[in-house]
Amino acid sequence: MSTLNDLQLDALRELANIGSGTASTALSSMLGRAVDISVPTAQALPFADAVDAVGPAEKLVTGVVIGVVGDMEATVLLLLGERDAATLCGLLGVDPDDELAPSALGEIGNIVGASYINALGAMTGLEMEPEPPQSATDMLGAIVASVLAGRAAGDDIALVLDSDLKVEGEDCAISFLLVPTAGGVQELLTRLGLGD
Amino acid sequence: MAAETMVRMGEFACSAVAGQVLVSLGLGSCIGLALLDKRAAVAGLAHVVLPAAEGRTGSPGKFADTAVEALIAELVGLGARRIALEAVLVGGASMFKLGGGSGMEVGQRNDEAVRAELARLRIPVAATDTGGSRGRTIRVTVGSQAVTSRAAGDQEVALYPRIPAGVAA
């Protein structure tokens, strides 16, 4: 997967667009608020550049990681800044400092991530099963690098599909990353009729 | 403040310029491996991602089984004495359990692979801040040969050089 052409990246971006559209609907019905989505970006980048592309490495964020198993292996990563996490907890009626806060955020990740994954599965006809979510609040670089090292281990290039969900009327955004394994990317492209 | 040289995932850098700072930000399961000459102002830093290359290509800094030798070669080229080299390890955290329970976590395997390679090449490990579940940043200052580690949301901690007992600062 060392090279993806523009057509392939466009197709992957469109997949991410539909996936995050479905995810925003799930988040919206959970919060009872409108949720806007940004146009996703699709980039195939060397590891080091992929980490830089996501944001400042030492920024403290909450990451919710959902493994995807089945026909396509991937990791879905939701990233929330400290303030975004606190706002989201508030909308759910949970104190951000409460010990329940991480599991509440994990549950949001679970629902939003699973709807994203299900949308991708429905579109491509691939069997995809989400694993239970895990969350951690830590340095952005450490979270993203650990996901890349754990998943995209076989390759020097990581495909990063990035979209943002924004809760209307609140200063709250969730960044959404899909990091497939190299084999997973080929599988996706093959199903879209764009395989090598 | 002197400019900091970023050593990103899979990269490595060495320097004999006093005052230069080598940094790896946000180490998760990766290992920041610093090699320092304990008598001369030469130091290097590798940002190790995986335990073994296993035939994969990539920067030598990326894999434990290629990073140590690459650092030694460049440091010796800059005037370091191989026998005076000491190692400091930071990182190797287990932040998430990924990969379907295939045994040990990447962070722990990285830690062990780097230590094994250092032992094979007879480089003593002077200090470590590895394991656990938190991300860290490593800073190496050439000249003072100071190595620090900072975990997310914490203060910076000095790891090296060790102050010999009975010597006033």
Our CA-based measurement puts residue A92 at a distance from the nearest CA of chain B, in whole angstroms, of 25
Among candidates B8, B96, B153 on the partner chain, residue whose Cβ is nearest the Cβ of A146: B96
Q: Tokens 């799930």 sit at which residue?
A: A26
ipTM summary value: 0.87
Tell if the CB–CB gap between B56 and A151 is shorter than 8 Å. Answer: no
Q: Is B131 exposed, middle or buried (0-12, 13-18, 19+ CB in 10 A)?
A: middle
What the block records as the tokens of B9 is 């995932």
Q: CB–CB of B104/B45 below 8 Å? A: no
Range picked from A169-178, B20-29, B58-67 for highest mean pLDDT: B20-29
Q: Do B10 and A65 touch (CB under 8 A)?
A: no
SS3 content of chain A, % helix, strand, coil (to 5): 45, 30, 25
Class of residue A60 by CB neighbours under 10 A (exposed 0-12, middle 13-18, buried 19+): middle
Q: Enumerate residue ranges in chain A where pLDDT < 70.
A: 1-2, 151-156
Q: What is the structure's pLDDT at A44?
A: 81
- Find, in chain A, the residue whose alpha carbon is nearest to that of B24: A57
Closest listed residue to residue A48, CA positions, set B35, B45, B111, B48: B48
Please report residues of A whose CB lies closer than 8 A to that of B56.
154, 156
- Ramachandran class of B100: left when φ > 0, alpha when ψ lies in -120 to 50, beta otherwise: left
Count of positions (residues) in chain A = 196
Q: CA nearest B110 in A: which residue?
A: A149
How far off is chain A from B99, nearest CA to CA, in Å? Answer: 7
Residues of B with a known catalytic role: 30
Could you tell me which residues come within 8 angstroms of residue B80 by beta carbon, excluding any fewer than 6 positions away?
A: B16, B37, B40, B42
Cβ within 8 Å, pair B26-A141: yes
For A75, which residue in chain B has the nearest alpha carbon?
A: B98
Specify the higher pLDDT residue, B10 or A159: B10
The pLDDT of residue B58 is above 80? no
pTM of the model: 0.89
For position A1, what pLDDT does the model report?
47
pLDDT for res A160: 81
Contact flag A143-B58 (C-beta cutoff 8 Å): no
Q: Where in chain B does DSSP place strands (E)? A: 4-6, 12-15, 21-27, 31-37, 43-48, 85-91, 125-130, 136-141, 146-151, 156-160
- Mean pLDDT, chain B, rounded, equals 90
- Helix (H/G/I), strand (E/B), else coil: A175: strand
Q: State the pLDDT at residue A156.
A: 67
Whether residue B100 contacts residue A140, with contact meaning beta carbons closer than 8 Å, is answered with no
